[in-house]
A = this chain, B = another copy of it.
């Protein structure tokens, strides 16, 4: 496997499990099986590594939600949560730990949330054949809520969010 890929995958797991600040460079290099010199050649700095992890995660997430349906959206979240022991949104966590003061991290977070909203907007049009900003925002609320509630209540909460989204979409379709 490619060194960079291995590094990003290891880092993502460690960051999620222990937090960003609490994960030292030693643990990262040891986990990825590379020297610290190589790590710095590839990502420049720890913040660079965090940003790279987030951007790769964003790409992976959107590859997971390709179909334009509410079911696909929450199905993706379920898969997402099952294969990674997420403790809330990793983008918001990185942003919070750095106080919003690291541009590359703040931008990665912002970009991810924008893309998420775009996706949901497409889904709403596909589901009810018209634009409805309130419905988009509500589904995003449910999605964001499920992401964080799953951290302390388990994946089952995603189903509740999905059903609520579908009920609201049905109501919007009827009107």
Residues of A within 8 A of B (CB): 17-22, 87-89, 92-93, 95-101, 109-110, 113, 134, 137-138, 140-149, 151-153, 157, 160-161, 163-164, 167-168, 171
Contact = CB atoms under 8 A, between A and B. Distances in A.
A142 B140 contact: no
Contacts of A168: 164, 167-168
A17 B99 contact: yes
Contacts of A149: 140-141, 144
Nearest to A101: B18
B97 A148 contact: no
A161 B161 CA distance: 13
Contact of A138 (B95, B134, B144, B160): B160
Contact of A141 (B89, B93, B96, B160): B160
A100 to B, nearest CB: 7
A87 B94 CA distance: 11
Contacts of A167: 168, 171
A54 to B, nearest CB: 14
Nearest to A99: B18
A164 B141 contact: yes
